[in-house]
Amino acid sequence: MGKTTTATNLSYLINEKNFKSRTKYKNLDIVQANNTLVRTECVCFLLEEQLKKIKEQYDFVIIDGHPSLEDYTIAALVASDLCIIPIKLDQYAINGIEIMDDQISEIEKITGKIRYKILITQFQKSVSGRRGYEELVTLNRYPIFRSVIRRTVKADESTYKRKPLEKCARSSTAAEDYRNFVEELLQEVNYNGLHD
Ligand SMILES: Nc1ncnc2c1ncn2[C@@H]1O[C@H](COP(=O)(O)OP(=O)(O)OP(=O)(O)O)[C@@H](O)[C@H]1O
Ligand SMILES: [Mg+2]
């Protein structure tokens, strides 16, 4: 759908904005997941608790999610101020939003409020693309970012190059869209705390 693509490009662009750095030379720390959480019984609040300990060291923590709503996804939802849900538009995806919204409501009963916002990705200006977009916007039931990430062959290429779009395909449509998206996101989270 675009979770990893969004997480990597967003991390790179936010890092470029010179937010609070952990060390003088390295603005961005990347922590790889492992399976330790999988066998733990109740992990809903585990990530939130751990992140609280390092909160002051970072301006942003971007968590790349798992496709299914398993324990570690719930832990990420609970730990997050805002959950970005990338969606590639088609009828199945639109139907899926309702299911996901219901599931989140169920989780909220246990964990408290979870805030999410949909990011339309791999967007194509075809008849069906526009139709899907209008359907979702007209529905007006779910929060959606104004920014839309367009589909580009450069996205697949960037995975082979192991670089964010900004580095390997700066003039591509999606690179431009991610730049706009970051501006919208920073406004959304009301962040203007740039550091020297
Ligand atoms: N804007 C885009 N245009 C074209 N292709 C894209 C775009 N964004 C992502 N893709 C491609 O779609 C595929 C899935 O993207 P990605 O890996 O980011 O999804 P994901 O949500 O992380 O998937 P998973 O649930 O498997 O982790 C990748 O091949 C990626 O290159
Ligand atoms: Mg992924």
CATH number of the structural domain spanning residue 121: 3.40.50.300
The pTM (predicted TM-score) of the whole model is 0.89
Centre of ligand 1 to C-alpha 169, Å, is 16
What is the residue whose two structure tokens read 């970051």?
182
Among candidate residues 62, 75, 64, 58, the one with its CA nearest the CA of residue 114: 75
Domain assignment of residue 8, yes or no: yes
Domain of 75 in residue numbering reads as 3-188
Q: Is the CB of 112 under 6 A from ligand 1?
A: no
In contact, 90 and 133? CB cutoff 8 Å:
no
- The verdict on residue 193 lying in a domain is no
Check pocket membership of 182 for ligand 1, CB cut-off 6 A.
no
Q: Of the ranges 14-18, 104-108, 111-115, 118-122, which one carries the lowest mean pLDDT score?
A: 14-18
pLDDT digits (tens, 9 = 90+) for 136-153: 888 889 999 999 999 999
Residue nearest to atom 23 of ligand 1 (CA): 1
Q: Which residue has the higher pLDDT, 62 or 139?
A: 62
Which residue has a Cα nearest atom 19 of ligand 1?
A: 2
For range 176-189, the mean pLDDT = 96
Q: How many domains does the chain have?
A: 1
Beta carbons of 129 and 87 less than 8 angstroms apart: no
Mean pLDDT of all residues in 58-63: 92
Q: Kindly report which listed range (98-102, 108-112, 174-178, 188-192) carries the lowest average pLDDT score.
A: 188-192
Select the more confidently predicted residue: 32 or 34.
32
DSSP reduced 3-state for 121? strand
Asked if the structure places residue 195 within a domain, the reply is no
Residue 181 lies in a domain: yes
In a domain, 196, yes or no: no
Please state, as a whole number, how many other Cβ atoms lie within 10 Å of the Cβ of residue 155: 21
